[in-house]
Amino acid sequence: MIRPGNPMPAHGQPRPDVDDALRMPSAAERARTLVEGNPSAVLVIPGLTTVLPGQMVPEMRSVGPEGDVFLLFPADSPAVRAATHADADADELTAVLEITDVAPVSVPHRIRGRAWIAGWLTPVRDEPVVPGTALLRLEVGEASVDDLWGAEQVEPDEFADAVADPLAPHESELLQHLASAHEDQVGWLCGLVGGRDAECAGTRTAVPVALDRFGLRVRFTDADGTFDARFDFPEPVRGHEELHRAMHTLFDAARASADDLHGA
């Protein structure tokens, strides 16, 4: 199924139509994908205002089986000192992990989404780490995501039960490959978008902006404006081989549509 997104608003990203929710990653899955993936992240501790932003960027992050977020910092970082002092005083230290997801390709409005994971921060002392580093645990109290799909809240148990998208570790590489090596085929996809025949007939750029197990999102831009279109795969994909087949199905359908149009 081909689903055009709404036109680009004056500020921010295009939002999906109501029908877009039929086949999409859940808010919890999207939040887990951002936490466990490559987007940049910074830890914010209320009251800790005399540090440089770079000092609050974790070197590594992961999600444990109970849904806790684990963050690795240099042992002398302000975050570690604050968590250690609070733990020694038996105080609860609240913190927010702020994540920003930027498209790995050049498109207008490159920020694809943001997520916020708020909770309580404590030091982890029973796990081995690289010398000179320390591990912190963020117990999730609430989470939210605001991305190409929209803005949603995520309950802690939903976050714990969710699984990150299987394509996420390779999404940047895959999108860059599609944009550089398959520019023409990506452009053909515009012909599959219903109701935009006139726009697709003109000169425009087509850039793959997001990819997940359910489908591909492409951003089309010309002098008159920008819109997103979402192209669903026949079935959710689980890896490279299934993705390869799904992409060929899309490109074949787009080429057939282009041939029909030219034949007419």
Res 93: pLDDT? 97
pTM for the whole structure: 0.87
Res 36: pLDDT? 96
**CATH 3.20.180.10 domain span(s) along the chain:** 170-263
Contact 111, 13 (CB under 8 A): yes
Contact 131, 145 (CB under 8 A): no
**CATH 2.30.110.10 domain span(s) along the chain:** 22-162
CB atoms closer than 10 angstroms to residue 65: 6
CB atoms closer than 10 angstroms to residue 80: 20
Q: Which CATH number among 3.20.180.10, 3.50.50.60, 2.30.30.100, 3.30.360.10 corresponds to the domain 170-263?
A: 3.20.180.10
CA 204/CA 56 separation, integer angstroms = 41
DSSP string, 62-75: EE-TTS-EEEEEET
Q: Which CATH number among 3.90.1300.10, 2.40.30.10, 2.60.40.1120, 2.30.110.10 corresponds to the domain 22-162?
A: 2.30.110.10
Res 4: pLDDT? 41
Which residues of the chain carry a pLDDT beneath 70?
1-22, 195-199, 201-203, 258-264
DSSP state, 36? Answer: H
Res 9: pLDDT? 43
Contact 41, 172 (CB under 8 A): no
- How does pLDDT run across 93-106, given as a tens digit for each residue? 999 999 999 999 99
**Which two tokens mark 115?**
């997520």
